[in-house]
Amino acid sequence: MTTTTPAATADAELPRLRLDTPPLLVLPILALLALPLIGSFPTWVTLTVAGLAMGMMIFIMASGLTLVFGLMDVLNFGHGAFVSVGAFTATLVLLPMQGWMQADSVLLNLAALGLAVALAMLVTGLLGWAFERVVVMPVYGQHLKQILITMGGMIVAEQMIHVVWGPDQIPLPLPTSFRGAILVGDAAIEKYRLIAVAVGLIVFVAMFLILNRTKIGLLIRAGVENGEMVEALGYRIRRLFVGVFVAGSALAGLGGVLWGLYKETLTAAMGGDIMVLVFIVIIIGGLGSVGGCFIGALLVALVANYAGFLAPKIALVSNILLMVAILLWRPQGLYPVAKR
């Protein structure tokens, strides 16, 4: 008994990881700086909520990608395909269930939406598993081929959507009870944006807890730091990776459903278009870092919304400018992952 006590105290005395605060401060500073520029408080609230909602959706789509990259050094350029497939799969539920969607009952609306999300995540998860098996597995460790192959995979997936669902856009109206806006003071806040923020927060918190409080999370984090060591300790990092890949794909599918409902129209190219933002986000956040990805997503979305209001012409390149600014400050992204 006496011998365990010093060990326990030694455990407790392990230095805690220092929290790297400056990146955390960027967001509030940005929001506060934008306030006097915009001038009107209600407009600012509307823009900020819109930015947060957009940021949460981008985070959901980007988080899987950055984890996969951190864990296995695979950058999946075809990630956008899961976004499109997720959104289009949701129509399989949402369009036949118009009755539930149009019903004036929050419960029925939620049920229809929940069913659609579940199906979309299931399909994209399975697709992710197949994609990993067939497309990605043969090219581990070869960056050049990975980029080419996953890009090709994305084109094929996008075209298959055209084959299955036809070449036209599909309108996807929001359920009745999520339409419209609520007034807080003078600021109008769209209900759906609040839902997006809530879902994004739930995903972030769940991910944070899994990564920091469970054994699987511990293994994933260890794998990001040093995969070989985790393997040497007897864990099968391959299985871990397949799991993360499937989860990341399912999250992309969830993001696709949310994004599709946000835009209210679906095109097969939507995944490819959003990938540009997703790449900027994970570069800003630091490749492989989930926390950085979260902050990066919110930053990109807020800047896009503020710039869209203040100077629409600059808004087109605001993301690139933001990326340049961040990389000049921290060349490896906000939270660089140790080994790279």
Nearest partner of 279 among 327, 220, 313, judged by Cα: 327
CB 87 within 8 A of CB 260: yes
At 245, the amino acid letter reads F
Nearest to other proteins of 162, 236 (CB atom) = 162
Nearest to other proteins of 133, 145 (CB atom) = 145
Which residues form the interface with other proteins (CB under 8 A)?
75, 77, 135, 138, 143-149, 151-153, 155-156, 159-160, 162-164, 166-167, 272-273, 275-276, 279-280, 282-283, 287, 313, 316-317, 319-320, 323-324, 327, 331
Instruction: Give the β-pairing of 265-266 and 187-190.
Output: unpaired
Rounded distance between C-alpha atoms, residue 208 and residue 223, angstroms:
16
| 3 state DSSP class of 267 | coil
Rounded distance between C-alpha atoms, residue 331 and residue 283, angstroms:
10
Nearest to other proteins of 66, 109 (CB atom) = 66
The minimum distance between CB 324 and other proteins, in angstroms, equals: 7
Nearest to other proteins of 112, 282 (CB atom) = 282
Q: How is residue 109 written in tokens?
A: 């609306």
The minimum distance between CB 149 and other proteins, in angstroms, equals: 5
Nearest to other proteins of 22, 152 (CB atom) = 152
Bridge partners of 266, per DSSP, are 170
The minimum distance between CB 279 and other proteins, in angstroms, equals: 4
Nearest to other proteins of 48, 150 (CB atom) = 150
Nearest to other proteins of 175, 288 (CB atom) = 288
The minimum distance between CB 146 and other proteins, in angstroms, equals: 8
The minimum distance between CB 294 and other proteins, in angstroms, equals: 19
Rounded distance between C-alpha atoms, residue 106 and residue 163, angstroms:
35
CB 239 within 8 A of CB 70: no
Torsion of CA 189, 192, 197, 199, to 10 degrees: 160
The minimum distance between CB 313 and other proteins, in angstroms, equals: 8
Nearest to other proteins of 175, 285 (CB atom) = 285
Rounded distance between C-alpha atoms, residue 242 and residue 92, angstroms:
27
The minimum distance between CB 247 and other proteins, in angstroms, equals: 22
The minimum distance between CB 263 and other proteins, in angstroms, equals: 16
DSSP string for residues in 127-183:
HHHHHIIIIIGGGTT-HHHHHHHHHHHHHHHHHHHHHHH-SS-EE-PPPGGG-SEEE
| 3 state DSSP class of 186 | coil
